[in-house]
Amino acid sequence: MPYDLKEDASSNTLRLSRKKIIKKTLGGTIVLIVTFILALVTYLTYPTLISDTLAPIIAINQTIFMLAVFFVILLAVALNFLYHYIYYKKYYYNLKDDVVVIRKGIFMPDEISIPYNRIQDIYVDRDMLDLMLGLYDVHVSSATVESGKDAHIDGVTHGNAVKLKEMILDNVKKSSNEKTPL
């Protein structure tokens, strides 16, 4: 059952960094720029390739074609950024009394809820882009496949990563103390 986003969610107080948008957009943007550079090099190396290839279909000026390719790639970069901005805005996580809830995605959001008494490991890590942008990922794992795939809060600052880890660990300890008689 989805949780209400208007609640006092942890993601409202320990916000994701806006640098997450840059990180997520960067990969697609690099691919699009490399594609355009390859198209430009091909155009400059074989100037008649475009007209020879497209001649049976349509007569087109090569310069206009390359400008069209440039604007299509520019539009793709803008749409990629917009997608990741909306993804960032819809990203939700909350440390409830009994579970960690993480929801992410735009069109078909994935939501995972892990009870504290099922959590086996909590760790903070970074990949190369995280290192360059000063971001951290907080992973929460249990013995399920879903936790390995979906149970991480990515794109937080160092301070928020430490706070999240400590808050989750405190809740795990409370949960284990409630289950264990003294």
Q: For residue 55, what are the domain limits?
A: 19-87
Q: Which residue pairs, CB below 8 angstroms and at least 24 apart, start in 37-46? A: 39/66, 39/69, 40/66
Q: What is the domain count for the chain?
A: 2
pLDDT computed for residue 75 by the predictor: 94
What's the mean pLDDT when you consider all of the chain? 84
Determine which helix (DSSP H) or strand (DSSP E) holds 12, and give its type and residue range.
helix 10-13
Please say which residue of 54, 69, 87 terminates a domain.
87
Please say which residue of 57, 87, 117 terminates a domain.
87
Domain for residue 92, yes or no? Answer: no
Whether 123 and 174 share a structural domain: yes
Q: Is the pTM of the predicted complex or chain greater than 0.85?
A: no
CA nearest neighbour of 85 among 23, 137, 148, 170 = 23
Q: Which residue matches tokens 């959590």?
A: 119
> In whole angstroms, what is the distance from residue 128 CA to residue 164 CA?
21
- State yes or no: pLDDT of 1 exceeds 50: no
Domain for residue 2, yes or no? Answer: no
Find the angle CA(6)-CA(151)-CA(158) to the nearest 5 degrees: 80
Q: What's the pLDDT tens digit per position in 58-89? A: 766 777 877 888 899 899 999 999 999 999 99
Q: Which residue matches tokens 């390859």?
A: 38
What contacts 59, CB < 8 A, 6 or more positions away?
51
Whether 123 and 62 share a structural domain: no
- State yes or no: pLDDT of 15 exceeds 70: yes
Q: What's the pLDDT tens digit per position in 135-181? A: 999 999 887 766 566 688 989 999 999 999 999 999 999 888 876 55
- State yes or no: pLDDT of 53 exceeds 60: yes
